[in-house]
Chains A and B, each alone.
Chain A
Amino acid sequence: MKNSPAGTKIMKTISLLLKNDTEMSKIEKGKWVILPALRLLFVLFLIILISLSKNAAFVIVVFAGLVVRLAMLKPETIKMVVMRLVPASLLTAIIMLPAVFLGNPRSLIVVTGKVICSVLTLSELNASVAWKDLTHALQDLHLPQIFILTIDMTVHFLVILGRVSNAIVEAVELRTCGKKNPNWKKAPTGGILGTTYLISERMSRESSEAMVVRGFSGEYKTLKKHKFNWMDLLYLFAFVLVLLIFIYLERAM
């Protein structure tokens, strides 16, 4: 593999993106306001309806609701959500640009709108529900335990290994300071990835041994008790309302 300083920049960018994700996970702690399973189901339901809708009106209705939700978040959270939204929307708009030249600019707006709504709803879920609560949600939805374990471990190790590779990249950069030997500057991306892989292999072995020692049998148990309250009822009402609006608008078209 050809040595390239750009490789360290790529690794650093990936590490920074993963670092932002861990910052986002520092959200509402303590009691659940709304059952996470309900939130997750609503998001999936909404994305399906957005994809199925054939008219712009439904997309705009959903967009209105999502923007109101966005306006209620803190400025830092809004920034994080918007930073995820912009690349996806721009990419979609660029891909759909030929539609404008072919005389159908509406399809650019509709498809881009659908992508905006889908990414916005997922980002808002990410902003308001901690990852560990989402695994509880998957448990409440009776997904297979092995599936939940795999997703959970993958997300955790993505973050941990992101930090590790970031630290390695910083170490490489520091070691290039004042060094006349050009070999230090051409630290191969392969080397960084390889070191990260070895560390991950050791970590996974240690995690497995720790799980066995602590009696983890692969089952996820929900320790938090949540009483069904009026906020959950509101969410169920939102389910029904969105479905009715969808049916009404599809029939109207």
Chain B
Amino acid sequence: MHIPDNYLSPQTAALMTAIMVPVWGVSIHKVRKQMTQESVSKIGIGGAYSFIGMMFNIPIPGGTTGHAVGGTLIAATLGPHAACLAVTVALLLQALIFGDGGILAFGANCFNMAFVMPFVGYYISKLVRKLLKFKAGDIVSVAIGSYFGINAASLMAAIEFGVQPYLFKDAAGQAMYCPYGLNVSIPAMMIAHLTVAGLAEVIYTVLVYSFLKKASNQKFYLEKDFSRSAKEIGDDSVKEKKDFSWILLLVLMILTPLGLLAEGTAWGEWGADEIAATGAGFTPKGMTEGINFEAMIPDYSMAGLPDIAAYILSAIIGVALTVVIFKLISLTHKKRVEE
């Protein structure tokens, strides 16, 4: 679901970024008000899980691939605003260091995966949770919420792709950016996410949420309205229990090369040299003359290193940098939230 550069017009990219600016502002404000220094550090772990989730590529019938995002997972554990910031940082690192997702398209990617997904996923989870009052009700509600979340995000991405040929054409009448209209982009994205990618998101979310519930010592955001004593989000409510949330992260990092097994490129992530062969019949002008950002570790691979080693190394760098960034951000927060 990472939109590369030159698939969206600069105008679309600018509009999506402009929409995200107040979203980021509100998220930063809410997180600053609600979360302490220690819990902001935990957003880094959430961002790390999102980063890792996006590295597990899953083959989709038709020759493309999809992946989980983990936005609803973070929203359920730390809140939708924290999830917005966590996924934003993960996407930023992916775009700058690994070339996964465009630089100009960063705003659009954040809109889909850092805004639409966590908020839709969270509020649907909350709605379902009110109806499911049994013990594992939170896990089921998060599973349902994550499914709706990822599909909402993919619908947004499909619309962003699909409007390009109608709005931006060259003198010859050919599309300048994404060449596929809504009649192609929506079925292509939605079929993949309603089936395989959606299932992947649900499995990933349930797996990590269940593990964190057992291994972590914090009270989850989703449960704060459903438990007797609503404490500070992300606070150590059970002091005796140690936090082992990093163990699953370590295991997932080692398993990331499984994502290399899926061949094929995700829909809408083809390179300029590949797009003509996908059925468009031509390479849009915006792609041949657009920006060409060279990332440091493009496509998570490095010359001289086997693909598996490079993939694991990329996972390590992404996770570690996400944690470092949020630890630095936590210094701007108070140690305790005022009652």
Contact = CB atoms under 8 A, between A and B. Distances in A.
B317 A56 contact: no
A79 interface: yes
Interface stretch (A62-70, A176-184, A207-215): A62-70
Tell which of B296, B297, B303, B304 has the most Cβ of chain A within 10 Å.
Answer: B304
Contacts of B297: 60
Tell me what chain B mostly uses at the interface: helix, strand, loop, or mixed: helix
Nearest to A81: B324
Nearest to B313: A64
A249 interface: yes
A63 B302 contact: no
Contacts of B37: 75
Given A105-B294, A109-B296, A75 B331 contact: yes
Nearest to A113: B296
A102 interface: no
Nearest to A66: B320
Given A56-B302, A109-B296, A61 B324 contact: no
Contact of A67 (B296, B302, B324): B324
Contact of A60 (B302, B321, B327): B302
B54 interface: no
B328 A60 contact: no
The 5 A-B pairs at the shortest CB distance, nearest first, are namely A67-B320, A71-B323, A57-B304, A75-B327, A252-B304
Given A71-B319, A75-B331, A76-B331, 11 more contacts: A60-B297, A60-B317, A67-B316, A67-B317, A71-B321, A71-B323, A74-B327, A75-B330, A82-B328, A109-B296, A249-B304
Contacts of B294: 105
Contacts of A55: 303-304
Given A249-B304, A253-B304, A67 B331 contact: no
A57 B313 CA distance: 10
A159 interface: no
B305 interface: yes
Chain B's interface size range is: 20 to 34
Contacts of A253: 303-304
Contacts of B324: 67, 70-71, 78
Tell me what chain A mostly uses at the interface: helix, strand, loop, or mixed: helix
B328 A67 contact: no
Interface in A197-253: 249, 252-253
Nearest to A249: B304
B296 A64 contact: no
Nearest to B317: A64
B313 A67 contact: no
Tell which of B323, B324, B328 has the most Cβ of chain A within 10 Å.
Answer: B324
A63 B296 CA distance: 13
Nearest to B38: A75
20 contacts: A55-B303, A56-B302, A56-B303, A57-B302, A60-B302, A60-B313, A67-B320, A67-B324, A70-B320, A70-B324, A71-B319, A71-B320, A71-B323, A71-B324, A75-B41, A75-B327, A75-B330, A78-B327, A78-B328, A79-B331
Given A79-B328, A109-B296, A64 B320 contact: yes
Given A61-B313, A64-B313, A64-B317, A71 B304 contact: no
Interface in A56-104: 56-57, 60-61, 63-64, 67-68, 70-71, 74-76, 78-79, 82
A75 B328 contact: yes
A207 B137 CA distance: 71
A71 B327 contact: yes
Nearest to A105: B294
A248 B316 CA distance: 20
A57 B317 contact: no
Contacts of B304: 55, 57, 249, 252-253
B331 A249 contact: no
A57 B317 CA distance: 13
A57 B303 contact: yes
A226 to B, nearest CB: 27
Nearest to A70: B324
A68 B41 CA distance: 15
B304 to A, nearest CB: 4
A79 B325 CA distance: 10
Interface string A2-30: 00000000000000000000000000000
Contacts of B313: 60-61, 64
Contacts of A67: 316-317, 320-321, 324
Interface in B41-68: 41
B292 to A, nearest CB: 12
B245 to A, nearest CB: 14
Contacts of B305: 57, 61, 249, 252
A78 B305 CA distance: 29
Nearest to A63: B317
Interface string B227-271: 000000000000000000000000000000000000000000000
Nearest to B322: A71
Nearest to B330: A75
Interface string B300-339: 0011110000000100110111011001101100000000
A74 B294 CA distance: 33
Nearest to B40: A75
A71 B326 CA distance: 10
A99 to B, nearest CB: 14
Given A71-B323, A75-B37, A249-B305, A64 B328 contact: no
